[in-house]
Structure 1
Amino acid sequence: MTAGAGFDAAAEPYRTRLARLGSTAAAYRDLMAPGGGSLWPDLPFPSFHDTPARLRTMARAFALPGTGLTGDAELGQAVAAGIDHYRWRVYAAGAKAAGNWWNWEIGVPKRLLDAAVLIGPHLAERQGAALAEAVDHFVPERRLNDYRGNSTGANRVDLCTVLLLRAVLTVDPGRAARAAAGLSPTFPYVSEGDGLYRDGSFVQHTFVPYQGTYGAVLLSGLATLFAVLRGSPWEITDPNRQVVYDSVERSFAPVVHDGVCMDLVSGRAIGRHPYGDHRRGRAIAAAILLLAETASAAERSRWRAMVKGWAARNTHQPMLGAAEATDLGFHARLAAVMDDGRIPPAAEPAGHRLLAMSARAVHRRPGWCAGLSMASDRIGHYEHGNGENLRGWHTGSGMLYWWTEGHGDQYSDGFWSTVDPYRLPGTTVSTRRLPDGAGASWGDTCPPGRWVGGATDGTYATVGQHLNGLESTVEAFKSWFFLDDAVVCLGAGISGEDGVPVETIVDNRRTDAFLAVDAAGHWAHLEGHGGYVLPDGDRLRASREQRGSGPARRTYVTLWFDHGVDPVSAGYVYLLLPGADQAETRARAADPGWARVLVNTSRRQGVHVPSLGITAVNFWSEGAAGGLSADAPCAVLVRERGDGTATLTVSDPRRDLSELTVTWDRPVAEVLRGHRLLARATTGAKLTLSFGRLSDRGGGSVTVTVRIPPG
């Protein structure tokens, strides 16, 4: 698994790639010059990443066929000498673990042990014993005794991998058993902290949605260990392992769009690399194809079709070509899938996924996709750490990402290094200047707002955020109503006392496309991207600017509302129309009844869309709107289906209701399908539904189906 497998070394592109690996390894071998402060002159110690990585590259060239150095004794001995030198000078038993713990317990030992195992007997017994002693010093077996702190989620899987490699190095069956058993705490669903949640959320560092990096590491690590240990005395048989298989479609697929992993689940890693979202999408795809090898036939069939669809639609950084350059094992698996005519490429599934426990939402309709990033009392505004993502301050202030056909690189190509961090699309923010790394590190930037989430029937959704700004006095109530071809966006109660303007950023697109703005102020259109409708004729400000320097300069078109300095109860209404042309945008602006705003205050926000039979209200407090009433804060989505039935979907975004009563002022004949939390239902001239402990749902939705009389 470490070296790569499943391909014909004599066939292209593997023959060329393997020969290149051999040339690289030979150069590393020839340039190695062990000294007091380095193993290579250009990599002064501690060189936690690059020096162990070079040793592993050399070991892969030794182990893989077709490199020209396969089984080469001189190369094997050079790797062994390099491992021992680095162990002696840096990674020695008793050395002080200065800096980031991860280097000492995961990063360094994983690479050194990979290299040591790959060169086999060329690592002398003395050298192997010294490396094992060093690993035992930094990663003792007792590290797995408690599932807490840095030994949870993806970190736990990595620690178990280190322990298993250590067991292989010294032929230690007991340690191998401990490593396998140590995986079990990562399997069950969690209700707080790090791990997988029933609603599809994945959290690491306590406060950060993280499918994109830590989640991918967890999935890849488990897929690898499931495969390595299959058929051995330590095969993973814990029945809770099914949670891992379920997470492919529950947790990971929802946040991948056309092979791109959305940045809203990638924490501080968002600005790490150009096209980093594509790179993370490939890592998830690679993990899924590997996990498929130990999955059921039905799961394997669905997952291969899904990954094939991602690869077929990702034209900005083709997945197969990128895999060829980085991971030959993944390339071989993906090439086999792409060449298999019996596997159809699966389309993007239309629908809505609300990940309430991580304050995230993803909406898919034919031709477009949107993702929403919020902050709550349990999810931080943003994460910074290790000097990364120092200006991601407002990514949790209601950032609305959206993609249409042909724009899969909208947030990829230099976006994070050039975008105005005070004007992220969808957000409402104070323009108060913030220092780099404002707020606590590692995602511990949770605001006090608890009403964050919404209700979804799986197709449409009403989502809301009680926003409290990061290190500012800004407060706002923001709602998004996700529909077929539009997102209706409402803001109310927008206030601030920072002595600076407060803005809502309607959009900030990385493009030089033509912007058309209606003279009457009722619509705007960005050619090739989509349209914006302003039902109230609010003054929309616009700018076009180039940001960055040198080859990293990018052009942005920004649209925003200026709520003024220290606003009191300001608001906004706009419709986002992804993919709409100018004629469609004008037509929607000329039809104000298409989406009627029922209420837009700090107590309630709601809309009615007659053509879809939708009435949706976010109740920030008890009250009534649009024929709906609720006796406690909640979200309600009603959908009249046109076949004599309707659904009422409710949720408790604050996760604290022991009971809730919702009334719909509409004749209802009977309840066709209830829910275990539905305590009482009264039909007739109006419908009254009383629910029990919605708090037990973790912000999840409950749907009741009723029959309504004609007329």
Structure 2
Amino acid sequence: MSLSRRDLLSLAPAVPLAALAHPPRARAAGRPAISAHEASADHARLIDNTVAVLAGTPGSNARPEVAAKLTAIAATARSRLTAMDGAGDGELFEGLPLGSSDPHLMTSYQYLYEIALATTVPGGPPSALRGDTTVQRRVINGLMWLHQHYYGNQSKGYYGNWFTWEIGISSHVSRTLALLRDELASHRPDLTALYVASMDAYLRNGKDGDVDLDSRFHTGANLADITTNRMLQGAVLEDDARVSKAVADQLTVLATIDPYHLRHGVTDGFYADGSFLQHASVAYTGSYGKGLLTRVVQTVKMLEGTGYVSGEDLVRTAHRWVVDGFAPLIFEGWMMEIVKGRGVSRTTTGYTDVTQVVEAVVDLSGHATGADATALKGYVAFVRTTSKAALDPSAFVSPVSIARYADILADPSAPAKDLTPAAHHIAFNAMDKTVHRRPGYAFALARSSARISKYEYMSGENLMPWFQGDGAHYLYLSGQDQTRAFGVDYFTTVPPYRLAGVTAPVETRRTVPELYGTLWYDNPERGFTASSEAQNTYVYFPRGTHVFSGGATLGAYGAAGLVQSDDVAYAAKRDGELPDDFVVYRNADATKSWFMFDDEIVVLAAGVGDSAGRAVTTTVDSRIAPPPDTLTVTGQLRDGTPWSGTGTAPLAWLRYANTTRSASVGYVFLDTPRPTVTLDTVTRSRRTVRLSNPDTPVTTRVFSVSVEQRAGVPHRSMAYALVPHASAERLRAYADGPLSVLVNTTRAQAVRHRGLGLVALNTFTRGTHRTGPLSIDGPGSVILRTAHGDAPHDRTVSLAVADPTTGRDTVSVLVRGRRMRAITADEGVRVTHVRGGTRVDVTTRHAYGRSFTAKLR
């Protein structure tokens, strides 16, 4: 920035503080009346805590483990100062022209924050920036210049993305005001109030410049961001009412979402089964969810020692989120794709996503007590030891967290241990996702329904998402670098119509920018603007139109079902509710079930085809590998003839092996038309899936096994099993069991696993369905496991029942055979004797897909 501009800023007239001060507000409920002196002490403590979080403490910064972080902070600040020196007209930093780009404006504020941070770091390696008031005044002058020319004029601001103006800029500014509070007090005492007044004015989705809990923009992670900013703003203004209100508003995100009794109409947040939603209907634990976890844990640290709130509830809630919501979705240090929304198209990896979670767990462990603290520390060590990418603690936000992380790894009293059992099944029914874990692999399934979005596209991200919620699966193999198997390169090189597990019509679809020439469909007269509800509903994250999605869980085993449907946009266009130029796509037809055991995931599909007469592809699996890897594809035909290579053949089983990485997956075709096997080398730019990705070509080997249906052929069924880490010998053995398909229609699908004594059944339509030893009034899902005792007629039956539609009041199951009595039963389960067997009636009303279990003898 030129000298003349700095001189200009130093001469800018000060705005009287009194003119900008807010009128007194009522103290938020829960904050007892305190003196002005006590309030001032709390504000100072809040600011000091925040500065310690961001810049570290003399103690943390003296640690050798923190040196790399501090060096990076200083280097970043120096590069930003160089960019400031080279700025041209209309720029504060070189290369960031201002006036029409809200990302450039937000980045300019980020750079100012990064410079300010380097000047406030206490201790650590020598730095010329530490305590440099001249540099701090350059930051302050930069704040004033941006406000005068590009931020303060409300009539010119608020273009582009609402997030920039209500959260992004405010986050950087609020932190900068806290870091430079002393220099601001002596150099520009008016600037803090000036900026807070402007930030209030830009909170346009709020109410009177404050949070509005009834606003669809002030929910979940977004609400946590806004309220964290307002806590800091209140502290630097000495506005106790603002801090108290912000704390009270943030505490609302701790409440578990009850879909039958919504507060303020909000569906965003954590559910009882560990699910997390943002944007009303998008599974988002791996992006917005980790942001919310981070903010809540930061709030614990920011408010420590103040009188605003007890940290116990915050710590207890965050601990529950980690155990139930995050740990099951992290496999060997990798965040699963099924909960990342449009974030799957970003070049950051699942390992990077987990780094943010680990920092939150590190800090949480410092505030938890007893066994909880030990378990959290053990989980940190577990992620570190199992991750195939070295976790870089210098990526943590806080230097204090880095020091604490080092202490945990050196602590022998907290041995490495997962928070999730090695054999575990969890149905995240509130977000239509399923995770099945065993030693050696994890299987993640993305479902959707009339409740949950099929995918998320937004802001030029995730450009080809159409089938990501239609039963797409991700089979993670232990010991692998998952960046070589999934992540952005998977979505870049695997065609969107051939994602693993997907049934899709053979057609070419166009992205939103290709269709409309902009990042959204623009039609204000019909309610379509950048972030309107119509845009959200029909463009950004459309739901499906069928209610069946979910299944039963019995211990570590699970069943899941899905009736594939058109999305709401297609249905609305068909009914004449959308403009003529709005483009929609019709889905293919399929009814599917996944039955998840120890060594196999059995997949049944019925009614597979297309009512519009198009050709259809059902992809059994798609996997990628680096080009240098050695891949082999071998199998056996139904007549026992060995087979290898690619092509279409009547296969009994198939084995894909990456010998370079000691990874393999087997496929057993129980009752499947002739599959087609391909192995191609594909090169595409990562910009194919996200407009802001670098235009970097990536090349992978893409293995795919699929079932191709020609146009106009009748609908068909198929049944196959995925067998992780299978050898050829093991795959040959499936000719004699233990799997058998009991029924596979659009009305019911069921399998038996003889070795485990399991029968699992999904029914999709009304009426009584009889399969094997079970009868059920559909729709519903049931798993039955039988264990025989020593006596001839001594047997124990374990049963799990669920309503995947979430709309039924009761589901009834008849276990045919000898009458049995209940040993244990969940509340809501009633066991009676009837002619022909034992009847189990389950009250599923308001259970939201949860499984009910009983044990009978």
TM-score class normalised by the smaller sequence:
over 0.9
Give 3-state SS (helix, strand or coil) of 1:284's partner: helix
- Structure 1 CA distance, aligned partners of 2:315 and 2:363? 15
Aligned to 1:18: 70
Work out which of the residue numbers 251, 257, 260 in structure 1 matches 2:334. Answer: 260
**CA shift for structure 1 position 570:** 1.2
Give 3-state SS (helix, strand or coil) of 1:105's partner: helix
Could you report, residue by residue, the CA deviation over 1:75-105 in whole angstroms, capped at 9, with x for unpaired residues?
Answer: 2111111222222222215243112111101
Aligned to 2:176: 115
Aligned to 1:420: 495
1:526 correspondence with 2:656: yes
Q: Which moved more, 1:63-72 or 1:14-23?
A: 14-23
**CA shift for structure 1 position 668:** 3.8
1:453 correspondence with 2:553: no
Structure 1, unaligned runs of 5 or more: none
Aligned to 1:3: 54
Normalising by structure 2, we get a TM-score of 0.78
Give 3-state SS (helix, strand or coil) of 1:363's partner: strand
- Structure 2 CA distance, aligned partners of 1:556 and 1:546? 6
**CA shift for structure 1 position 559:** 0.7
Q: Is the 8 A contact 1:403 1:578 kept in 2?
A: no
1:204 correspondence with 2:296: no
Give 3-state SS (helix, strand or coil) of 1:602's partner: coil
Q: Is the 8 A contact 1:667 1:683 kept in 2?
A: no
- Structure 1 CA distance, aligned partners of 2:809 and 2:783? 20
Structure 2, unaligned runs of 5 or more: 1-49, 260-266, 516-520, 522-534, 568-584, 639-650, 658-662, 685-695, 790-794
**CA shift for structure 1 position 220:** 0.4
Work out which of the residue numbers 190, 193, 197 in structure 2 matches 1:133. Answer: 197
**CA shift for structure 1 position 226:** 1.6
Aligned to 1:619: 763
Q: Is the 8 A contact 1:429 1:469 kept in 2?
A: no
Q: Give the AA of the match of 1:309.
A: F
Aligned to 1:704: 854
Could you report, residue by residue, the CA deviation over 1:381-425 in whole angstroms, capped at 9, with x for unpaired residues?
Answer: 100111111101111010111111222412136222222111100
Work out which of the residue numbers 132, 152, 157 in structure 2 matches 1:72. Answer: 132
Aligned to 1:548: 683
Aligned to 1:99: 160
Q: Give the AA of the match of 1:577.
A: V
Work out which of the residue numbers 566, 575, 579 in structure 1 matches 2:721. Answer: 575
Aligned to 1:59: 116
Q: Give the AA of the match of 1:445.
A: P
Q: Give the AA of the match of 1:416.
A: F
519 and 143 in structure 1: CA distance in 2 versus 1, 3 angstrom threshold: same
Q: Give the AA of the match of 1:27.
A: S
1:492 correspondence with 2:606: yes
1:660 correspondence with 2:811: yes
**CA shift for structure 1 position 314:** 0.7
Work out which of the residue numbers 380, 383, 389 in structure 2 matches 1:310. Answer: 383
233 and 197 in structure 1: CA distance in 2 versus 1, 3 angstrom threshold: same
Aligned to 2:11: none
Aligned to 1:432: 507
386 and 477 in structure 1: CA distance in 2 versus 1, 3 angstrom threshold: same
Give 3-state SS (helix, strand or coil) of 2:192's partner: helix
**CA shift for structure 1 position 670:** 1.3
325 and 447 in structure 1: CA distance in 2 versus 1, 3 angstrom threshold: closer
Aligned to 1:49: 106
Aligned to 2:529: none
Q: Give the AA of the match of 1:233.
A: G
How large is the RMSD of aligned CA atoms in angstroms?
A: 2.2
Q: Which moved more, 1:139-148 or 1:577-586?
A: 139-148
**CA shift for structure 1 position 239:** 5.1
Could you report, residue by residue, the CA deviation over 1:625-667 in whole angstroms, capped at 9, with x for unpaired residues?
Answer: 1121112310000012345422110001111222222101132
Work out which of the residue numbers 629, 634, 637 in structure 2 matches 1:516. Answer: 634
Could you report, residue by residue, the CA deviation over 1:563-605 in whole angstroms, capped at 9, with x for unpaired residues?
Answer: 22244331111110011122222222x22x3111000000000
Q: Is the 8 A contact 2:777 2:812 kept in 1?
A: yes
Work out which of the residue numbers 110, 123, 145 in structure 2 matches 1:85. Answer: 145
- Structure 2 CA distance, aligned partners of 1:421 and 1:364? 26
Q: Is the 8 A contact 2:355 2:396 kept in 1?
A: no
Could you report, residue by residue, the CA deviation over 1:199-220 in whole angstroms, capped at 9, with x for unpaired residues?
Answer: 1111000110000111011110
Give 3-state SS (helix, strand or coil) of 1:50's partner: helix
> Taking every aligned residue pair, what percent have the same amino acid on both sides?
26
Aligned to 2:213: 146
- Structure 1 CA distance, aligned partners of 2:150 and 2:202? 12
Q: Which moved more, 1:103-112 or 1:5-14?
A: 5-14
Aligned to 1:609: 753
**CA shift for structure 1 position 372:** 0.3
128 and 537 in structure 1: CA distance in 2 versus 1, 3 angstrom threshold: closer
**CA shift for structure 1 position 29:** 2.2
Q: Give the AA of the match of 2:215.
A: R
Aligned to 2:842: 691
447 and 537 in structure 1: CA distance in 2 versus 1, 3 angstrom threshold: closer
Give 3-state SS (helix, strand or coil) of 2:180's partner: helix
Give 3-state SS (helix, strand or coil) of 1:226's partner: helix
Work out which of the residue numbers 448, 451, 465 in structure 2 matches 1:375. Answer: 448
Q: Which moved more, 1:373-382 or 1:464-473?
A: 464-473
Work out which of the residue numbers 276, 289, 292 in structure 2 matches 1:215. Answer: 289
**CA shift for structure 1 position 542:** 0.9
Give 3-state SS (helix, strand or coil) of 1:638's partner: strand
Aligned to 2:739: 595
**CA shift for structure 1 position 325:** 7.7
Aligned to 1:294: 367
Aligned to 2:84: 32
- Structure 1 CA distance, aligned partners of 2:424 and 2:379? 16
Larger radius of gyration: 2
Q: Is the 8 A contact 2:549 2:804 kept in 1?
A: yes
396 and 331 in structure 1: CA distance in 2 versus 1, 3 angstrom threshold: same
Give 3-state SS (helix, strand or coil) of 1:182's partner: helix
- Structure 2 CA distance, aligned partners of 1:16 and 1:634? 55
Work out which of the residue numbers 471, 475, 480 in structure 2 matches 1:402. Answer: 475
Aligned to 1:675: 826
Equivalenced residues, count: 701
